[in-house]
Amino acid sequence: MIILGIETSCDETAAAVLSMNDERITILFNVVASSASLQAKYGGVIPEQAAREQIKSLIPVIKEALETAQVTSNKLDAIAVTYGPGLIGSLLVGVETAKVLATIWNKPLIPINHLIGHFYANWIDTQPPTFPCIGLLVSGGHTDLVLFTDHGKYQYLGGTRDDAAGECFDKCARLLGLPYPGGPQISKLAQKGDPSKFRLPIPMKGSKDFDFSYSGLKTAVANIVNSKQFTGYSKKADLAASIENAIVKSLIDKVILAAQKYNIKQIMVAGGVAANQKLKENLESRVKSLGENVKLHIPPAKLCTDNGAMIAAAGFFEKKVIDPLKLQADPSLSF
């Protein structure tokens, strides 16, 4: 079975062609065009501009994915597309394009929730998770804990009450004068820093629910940056290390709490922040302490940030096929 996946929920224009043989999912070709460097100039994503870039890039990106994968439209079994959540202008470009292609090529159209799609990066070219499984989604707009009992069956455990973890990375990076997207920038700088120099609160430390909160951490960072102590302080890296530490610790505490409370042996992480090396290393060692039979799944970094491969992968398991005339982009779609 071969699926074309299309993803345009924010500033990435992405398409991928994946195949599934004997339950093994393989990437034939995966292409991501990003307008992030353009957005970087403004310190964040300008929705109108992101949508205009989607229009320019999407057809060439789809063409490149199919040609390089050496898959002609008649060999495709279905088209999977992100229909929400995200920026409405960006989503519309992907959704309307997928509707037209599904109609003219006469292919089934599979609508994918972007949040669920992120988790399916854990099914690509690897031994996938088994159910039940705790899922942590950490992206620019979301920080959510979900308990999956099967494909399409899940219980929402909790999420952020304000900012998302990725958003906190991005906003703190901006306070430190670093460009967008801030997560990778803070992470790089943090490697040279000493996290013990600045004491930051660990968000929601000790709380026994599955919620998160990052606006307080952002305010604490803003207070430090605007303080006399920081004026002329030469090692921004120390503060970057403290920020990364606080975010990573708060995420790991809640994942472990959920795995213990529900006695789950499979844990998966997804979303852009899952590309963070410190999160990966620290979570690996905490998961190890839960016992040898507990398994952690984190996708390779390039499948953590937005891409079409995860959308195609989700398409192999999504039972719903929709009439192309009926599909509508939904910017506020949730779990």
Q: Is there binding between residue 170 and ligand KG4 (CB under 6 A)?
A: yes
Among 139, 185, 250, 266, binds Zn ion (CB under 5 A): 139
Q: Is there binding between residue 306 and Zn ion (CB under 5 A)?
A: yes
Among 116, 145, 273, 303, binds ligand KG4 (CB under 6 A): 273
Q: Which two tokens stand for residue 46?
A: 């300008």
Alpha carbons within 13 angstroms on the beta-carbon side of residue 206 total 1
Taking phi over 0 as left and psi of -120 to 50 as alpha, with beta for the rest, 64 belongs to alpha
Q: Is there binding between residue 144 and Zn ion (CB under 5 A)?
A: no
184 interface partner picked from Zn ion, ligand KG4, none, CB below 5 to 8 A per type: ligand KG4
Among 84, 94, 111, 184, binds ligand KG4 (CB under 6 A): 184
Among 89, 135, 182, 315, binds ligand KG4 (CB under 6 A): 182
Helix (H) or strand (E) holding 101: helix 88-105
305 interface partner picked from ligand KG4, Zn ion, none, CB below 5 to 8 A per type: ligand KG4
Q: Is there binding between residue 305 and ligand KG4 (CB under 6 A)?
A: yes
Q: Is there binding between residue 94 and ligand KG4 (CB under 6 A)?
A: no
Cβ neighbours around 74 below 10 Å, total? 8
Q: Do the beta carbons of residue 176 and residue 240 sit within 8 Å?
A: yes
Buried b (16+ CB within 10 A) or exposed e, 201-238: eebbeeeeebbbbbebbbebbeebbeeeeeeeeeebbb
Among 271, 299, 308, 324, binds ligand KG4 (CB under 6 A): 271
Among 117, 129, 193, 272, binds ligand KG4 (CB under 6 A): 272
DSSP notation for 118-170: HHGGGGBSS----SSEEEEEE-SS-EEEEEEEETTEEEEEEEBSSS-HHHHHH
What does the angle CA 214 – CA 121 – CA 61 come to, to the nearest 5 degrees? 100
Q: Which two tokens stand for residue 322?
A: 């929709």
Nearer to ligand KG4, 144 or 238 (CB): 144
Q: Which two tokens stand for residue 139?
A: 């992206």
Nearer to ligand KG4, 170 or 318 (CB): 170
- Smallest separation, CB 143 to ligand KG4 (Å): 10
Residues that bind Zn ion (CB under 5 A): 139, 306
Residues that bind ligand KG4 (CB under 6 A): 10, 139-141, 166, 169-170, 181-184, 187, 271-273, 275-276, 305-306
